[in-house]
A and B are shown apart, each in its own frame.
Chain A
Amino acid sequence: MIRRELITRLCKAYLDDKLEEIDRIPLIMAPRKSKQESRCCAHKTRAVLKYRMMALLGFNVADEVDELTPLSTYAGYALRKKNKGEGFLTVVDEACYACNKANYVVSNLCRGCVARPCKMNCPKDAIEFVNGQAKIDPEKCVNCGICKNECPYHAIIYVPIPCEEVCPVNAISKDEDGVEHIDNDKCINCGKCMIACPFGAIMAKSQIVNILQSINSNKKTVAMVAPSILGQFKGSFGQMVNAIKALGFDEVLEVASGAELTADHEAAELKEKLDEGNKFMTTSCCPAYVDAVAKHMPEIKDYVSDTPTPMQYTAKMAKEKDPNCETVFIGPCVAKQAEAQRDDAVDYVMTFEELGSFMLAKKVDILECSEEIDMAEFPATGRWFAESGGVTKSVLHRYEDTSFVKNMTINGLDKKQIKLLQRMPKLKVDTNFIEVMACEGGCISGPGIACNPKVAKKLLAANLKSK
Chain B
Amino acid sequence: MSKKVQVKICFGTHCYVMGGSHLEMLEESLPAELKDYVEVSGSPCFGHCEEKTAGTPPFVEVNGTIIEKANIELIINYIREVLADGIRE
Contact = CB atoms under 8 A, between A and B. Distances in A.
Contacts, number: 56
29 contacts: A1-B19, A4-B17, A4-B18, A233-B16, A233-B17, A234-B11, A234-B13, A234-B16, A235-B13, A243-B13, A353-B17, A356-B17, A359-B13, A360-B13, A360-B17, A360-B18, A366-B13, A367-B11, A367-B12, A367-B13, A368-B45, A450-B21, A451-B16, A452-B21, A452-B24, A454-B25, A455-B22, A455-B25, A458-B24
B60 to A, nearest CB: 14
Contacts of A364: 13
Interface in A425-467: 450-452, 454-456, 458
Nearest to A356: B17
Interface residues of B, number: 15
A234 B25 CA distance: 14
Given A1-B19, A359-B13, 12 more contacts: A234-B11, A243-B13, A356-B16, A365-B12, A367-B44, A368-B44, A450-B21, A451-B21, A455-B22, A455-B25, A456-B21, A458-B24
Interface string B18-55: 11011011000000000000000010110000000000
The majority secondary structure among interface residues of chain A is helix
A7 to B, nearest CB: 10
A455 B17 CA distance: 12
Contacts of A451: 16, 21
A450 B11 CA distance: 13
Nearest to B28: A454
A52 to B, nearest CB: 17
B21 A455 contact: yes
A357 B18 CA distance: 9
Contacts of A452: 21-22, 24-25
Contacts of B13: 233-235, 243, 356, 359-360, 364-367
A280 B47 CA distance: 55
A360 B49 CA distance: 10
Contact of A360 (B11, B14, B19, B21): B14
10 nearest A-B pairs in the assembled complex, by CB-CB distance: A356-B17, A451-B21, A234-B11, A367-B44, A455-B24, A365-B13, A366-B13, A452-B21, A452-B22, A455-B21
Most central of A243, A357, A365, A458 by chain B CB within 10 Å = A365
A286 B19 CA distance: 27
A230 to B, nearest CB: 14
Contacts of B45: 365, 367-368
Contacts of B16: 233-234, 356, 450-451
A357 B13 CA distance: 9
A359 B17 contact: yes
A456 B17 CA distance: 12
Interface string A1-25: 1001100000000000000000000
Nearest to B42: A234
B47 to A, nearest CB: 10
Contacts of A4: 17-18
Interface string A356-379: 110110001111100000000000
